[in-house]
Amino acid sequence: MSNFNIDSKKNQTYDAIVIGSGISGGWAAKELTGKGLRTLVLERGREVKHVTDYPTTMKQPWEFEHRGQLPKEIIDANPIVSKCYAFYEGSEHFFVKDAEHPYVQEKPFDWIRGYQTGGKSLMWARQTQRWSEFDFEGPARDGFAVDWPIRYADLAPWYSYVEKFAGIAGNKDGLPNLPDGEFLPPHEMTCVDKHFSKEVAKHYNDRHIIIGRAAHLTKPNKIHYDQGRGTCQNRTICERGCPFGGYFSSNSSTLPWAAKTGKMTLRPHSVVHSIIYDEQKKKATGVRVIDANTKQMTEYYARIIFVNAAAINSNLILLNSTSNRFPNGLGNDSGVLGKYIAFHNYRATIHAEYEGFLDSTTDGKNPNAAYVPRFRNVYKQETDFLRGYAAGFYSNRYQYEDRNGLGEDLKKNLLNPKYSGAWSVNSHMMGETIPKESNYVKLDKTLVDPWGVPQLRINVDYDDNDVKMTKDFFEQFKEMFTKAGFTNIQTHDTNRTPGLDIHEMGGARMGKDPKTSILNKWNALHQCKNVFVTDGASMTSTSTQNPSLTYMALTARAADYAVKEMRKGNL
């Protein structure tokens, strides 16, 4: 029997374990296997294979039973996830349903999740901007949160590294507050977008309207063809899964690349319970995994562990990884694990009309839109609120069909849609929230999920800084819209619940001081240096940019460091 146990443990031992197969987990798998490590990738959801498991991706509108709409009973049963813009009849199978994975809302929080191979990389909005030096310096400058242990120069080469592989469409704009990257040809702005950009440039020196930077293959390079990916078809139904690999996802890119090495073992239906800490060796030795179907627990072992379960679940796993050495969660000597959660404030929107360019229309589809980089408090503190906001900008002309007539007349009317008189212009804010100790997640003492893992209690909310920032967004964009000649300007504070931005960050933040942070400058736990966290949980602050590109760069950088340290015998 003892020989059987030894053989069993040997069969369950790897060089590295990656928890999660989403954007950052996929990158961890690619990098670790590419460096020769036998790597186990644990995914709590089902397996979704590229192309094969995108059941709605080629469906036409009339092929859906409800023409894309969700029945009332599904919406009523899912009051949280049904708020998400990407949740509809063609994509619902990629989203976690509310009742299946419960959590406790101490304050309202819409936790949007995707439990399958690739995670939310199948449904994400694909916006990918680099952070600037101003973003990494922000906390040190204003004294809120803690200082980042890295700066832009530390991450710049890794941004380039992941951009080349993932494929990022964008324009080199030469802006210090939004560094340029390794870009494929950009998407095109509409004539109204360009008009707005020119008018803003006339009146402001520090404000810019640019085309967004997005993870789409507008003109693939060899490295993308080598992945088996092709040109983006501008179908704008990305959240169904792209059979062309036209946008970046773990399923179409990093995971197949890792699989080609022969070094990756992907294990779906694997709910990670906790990380095993060996008090004699003073390091983590493996993970405890509950089979999602049988509910049986198995232990897997490795020399290094990457935690990439997405921000809130990564916090849950670390908090649940208790031992005599770490009674409050793995690496949590400081007591800050699960605290200082932050997110992006999307609650403010502004709409208007423009009577120009009536000889032009929006023809076809564009998977990208214009972008307004942050211009508040960039170089110095200049407002009554901290940090700042970026914004999306979108313009179009509404199309309508003339359904009068019969036979040939009706067919001509339907094939030649007409457009409304004025252009519609819209913008939404993406504001940086300040990490606060009062914004936290913690384990419930009695409630567990269907797999026996403690449920999370989430306490996250807006504050006065967010209110002031929202007010400033309205004031500044009303002024900019007016100078651009837009009319019928209307602002709207949606008061949307935190979480619906799907940009939750923090809880296991990076920092220089183990007394005030969980991770060091290499994304390793201060007190358990063979465990790395490189997803949103690691973020010290949120900046105003979409965060996924930064997760990719952090992951590639940390994996490179981890393998080098392992080969030196330090891990």
Residues 513, 320, 16: CA angle, nearest 5 degrees: 75
| Residue that is written with structure tokens 């211009």 in the block | 375
Per DSSP (E only), the strands in 318-388 are 339-342, 344-345, 348-354, 370-372
Mean pLDDT of 444-455: 97
State the average pLDDT over residues 81-101. 96
pTM beyond cutoff 0.85: yes
| Ramachandran angles phi, psi of 561, nearest 5° | -65, -45
For the chain, how far is it from start to end, CA to CA, in angstroms?
31
Residue 408's pLDDT band (cuts 50, 70, 90): confident
pLDDT for res 5: 56
Distance CA 352, CA 482 (A): 10
Find the helix packing angle between 152-166 and 548-567, rounded to 10°: 100
| Mean pLDDT score of the chain | 95
Q: Note whether 240 and 90 are within 8 A (CB).
A: yes
| Whether pLDDT at 397 is above 60 | yes
Which tokens sit at 408? 């040939």
In this predicted structure, which of 140-144, 246-250, 471-475, 518-522 has the lowest mean pLDDT?
140-144
Query: pLDDT value at position 418?
Result: 73
- In order of 10, 275, 286, 328, 510, the CA distances from 304 in angstroms are 16, 11, 8, 21, 18
CB-based contact 229:217 (threshold 8 Å): yes
Contact, 271 vs 260, CB < 8 A?
A: no
Nearest to 558 by CA among 526, 540, 533: 533
Cα 236 to chain centroid, rounded? 18
The model's pLDDT over 194-250, given as tens digits with 9 standing for 90+, comes to 999 999 999 999 999 999 999 999 999 999 999 999 999 999 999 999 999 999 999
For the chain, count helices (H), then strands (E): 12, 25
pLDDT tens per residue across span 358-372? 988 877 789 999 999
| Section 165-194 average pLDDT | 97
Average pLDDT over residues 473-497: 97
Confirm if 499 and 333 have CB atoms less than 8 A apart. Answer: no
Q: How far apart are CA 310 and CA 537, in angstroms?
A: 7
User: Residue 413: enclosing H or E segment and its boundaries?
Assistant: helix 408-415
Q: Cα(274)–Cα(294) distance, rounded to whole angstroms?
A: 18
DSSP state of 98: G
Residue 426: pLDDT over 60 = yes
Structure tokens at 485: 């000649």
pLDDT digits (tens, 9 = 90+) for 323-346: 999 999 999 999 999 999 999 999
Name residue 368's amino acid.
N
Q: What pLDDT score does 140 carry? A: 92
For residue 210, the cross-strand partners are 371
Q: Is 300 left (phi over 0), alpha (psi -120 to 50) or beta?
A: beta
Tokens of residue 466, six digits:
């967010």
Residue 169: partners with Cβ closer than 8 Å, 6 or more residues away: 183, 184, 185, 186, 187, 213, 214, 215, 216, 217, 218, 232, 368
What's CA 170's distance to the chain center, in Å?
18
Residue 384 pLDDT level (bands cut at 50, 70, 90)? very high
Task: Inform me whether the pLDDT recorded for 3 exceeds 50.
Answer: no
CA distance 119 to 123: 8
pLDDT in tens, 303-325: 999 999 999 999 999 999 999 99
Distance CA 505, CA 433 (A): 10
Q: What is the pLDDT of residue 7?
A: 58
pLDDT-based confidence at 533, cuts 50/70/90? very high
* % of the chain exceeding 70 in pLDDT: 98
Q: According to DSSP H, which parts of 330-376 are helical? A: none
- Tokens standing for residue 417: 């849609």
Q: Around 57, how many Cα atoms within 13 Å sit in the side-chain half-sphere?
A: 19
With cut-offs at 50, 70 and 90, classify the pLDDT of residue 2: very low
Mean pLDDT for the stretch of residues 445-452: 97
pLDDT per position as a tens digit, 12-31? 999 999 999 999 999 999 99
* Alpha helices (H) along 167-208: 191-203
Domains of the chain: 13-170+246-342+438-459+504-571 (3.50.50.60), 175-212+344-432+462-497 (no CATH)
For 125-153, the pLDDT digits (tens) are 999 999 999 999 999 998 888 999 999 99
**Amino acid found at 29:** A
The pLDDT assigned to 1 comes to 39
